Amino acid sequence: MNDNGCIHLNNFKAAKGTHPYKIVHAFFVSCTSYEARKYKATSCLCFTCGKPGPRMHSCLHCIFFGCYAGHIQDHSKTKKHFLYVDLSFGNIFCAQCQDYIYDRELTDIAVTHRLKEAKSLGLYVPYTPWLPNNNEAMALRRLRKRRLISPHTTIGLRGLQNLGSTCFMNCIVQALIHTPLLRDYFLAEKHKCKAQSSGKCLVCEVSKLFQEFYSGAKTPLTLHRLLHLIWTHARHLAGYEQQDAHEFFIATLDVLHRHCMNGVEDIEKKENGRCNCIIDQIFTGGLQSDVVCTSCSGVSTTIDPFWDISLDVAGPGSLQACLERFTRAEHLGSAAKIKCSNCRAYRESTKQLTLETLPIVASFHLKRFEHSSQIDRKISAFISFPAELDMTPFMSSHRRAVDMGGADNNNAPQGIFEDNRYSLFAVVNHLGSLDAGHYTAYVRQMKGSWFKCDDHMITRASLREVLDSEGYLLFYHKTVLEYECDVS
């Protein structure tokens, strides 16, 4: 395929524009409506042999369908029409150049039609590869060494100086830096700050931090500006004493979320009213709570957003076992009666938590620090966690399917297959006691490549070493991403 187009296509567009291509692509390639699909199924036959292929093409100059194997060439000779649309992929074939021709304007039209096709079929948006524009192509030609990341590269790996018991911050920063979609967002410079002073915007500071991590430099970074911004906007964390890494993680997400919403970026609300900032797109899920009256079996359901899931650690076990306990129905007892809207009286009930929607990044907090009136202690019981995790058993849709006597594909809507598999990419550990402890982190730089981050020290680690660690915060990234249609 020619990447530079051809004079014949350019002359055709100058004379007739892109409308002929739009019509052919909408009706016979993407089929953006039921009528188009029906018309293609009944009318898209070769005008010469009457067959549906192979490799059916449509003439751009007139109404003619022909097979690639000779029939469109015959049409070119008799009618002097040289441009054709491949009805399988939407590519333009020039009979004079004897090549497929690339054109950016026509490619954009095809992408729009594919989105409409997916929406009309009730499917997720199909994957389309990234196509560089002229400026990006020129940059790639100048920086040839940056095209491919070698297996032994250290790009994206930098140590962080401890500013005085700030290992909790360093670990959370390492986890965020190695969150794939967050990395892609900031390295693509998607953040457009509209604040009066970018020096007060945490999103701007994080954007600069990503640039520093992926600049190729290896010297440790000092995060005094980031720490100051967090202190300014989350004053309960101010001070140089040791802080809880989980609390810092939630506070950081909260400040980033607020800075995205407070006029820093244009925020569009989805139909369900959920914020569409990059933080909520990646980290927000929906936690469903079903309270069932034991007298009339009436159900009261609420769905609340969450950024992470905190799990009790009762003793040695596994992450899956902790999740099973978290989603198990619990009898609330006589001391916690609720007013049933059906019975119109206070009744005993059961409560069950399940996951209505899953975030792209699932963050798990193992509650190892126990604080009570009698004692404060750390629970160091070993909790095993997998490199690959399937969240299907903990979904609300799966529980509904089980209740109805089946659990195929977690009862997903018809025509949509939901893949709830996750892959581990970061682990934060707490070493030592409750009073005298230290945080370290393991991060996955790329598939199969793990590193231990201990403040300014970065060392290579094995997956076995990661899975054998104690685990305090666990970060999983969804293996397969579904894209929602948003085409009117």
CB 299 within 8 A of CB 355: no
The question of whether 193 is a catalytic residue gets the answer no
CB 422 within 8 A of CB 476: yes
Q: What's the burial of 224, exposed, middle or buried (CB within 10 Å: 0-12/13-18/19+)?
A: exposed
List the structure tokens of 81: 């029409």
CB 292 within 8 A of CB 304: no
- Number of helices and strands in the chain (H, E): 15, 23
The question of whether 167 is a catalytic residue gets the answer yes
Prior bond to 413 cis, omega within 30? Answer: no
Backbone dihedral angles phi then psi of residue 115, each to the nearest 5 degrees? -65, -45
Alpha-carbon distance of 22 to 60, in angstroms, equals 10
Cα–Cα distances in Å, from 240 out to 6, 196, 236, 291, 428? 65, 29, 12, 43, 20
Torsion sign over Cα 208, 209, 210, 214: positive
List the structure tokens of 96: 């004079």
Residue type, 46: C
Q: Which of 291, 328, 334 is nearest to 312 (CA)?
A: 328
Alpha-carbon distance of 352 to 171, in angstroms, equals 33
Count of other CB atoms within 10 angstroms of residue 75? 23
List the structure tokens of 453: 């981050």
Q: Which long-range contacts (CB under 8 A, 24 or more apart) does 274-277 make?
A: 274/305
Q: Which of 366, 476, 487 is nearest to 32 (CA)?
A: 487
Residue 236: alpha-carbon gap to chain centroid = 31
Q: Is 274 left (phi over 0), alpha (psi -120 to 50) or beta?
A: beta
List the structure tokens of 70: 């000779």
Name the packing angle between helices 167-177 and 245-259 (round to 10°).
50
Catalytic residue among 8, 61, 233, 438: 438
Residue type, 469: S
Catalytic residue among 31, 46, 67, 167: 167
What are the beta bridge partners of residue 361?
477
Q: Which residues are catalytic?
A: 167, 438
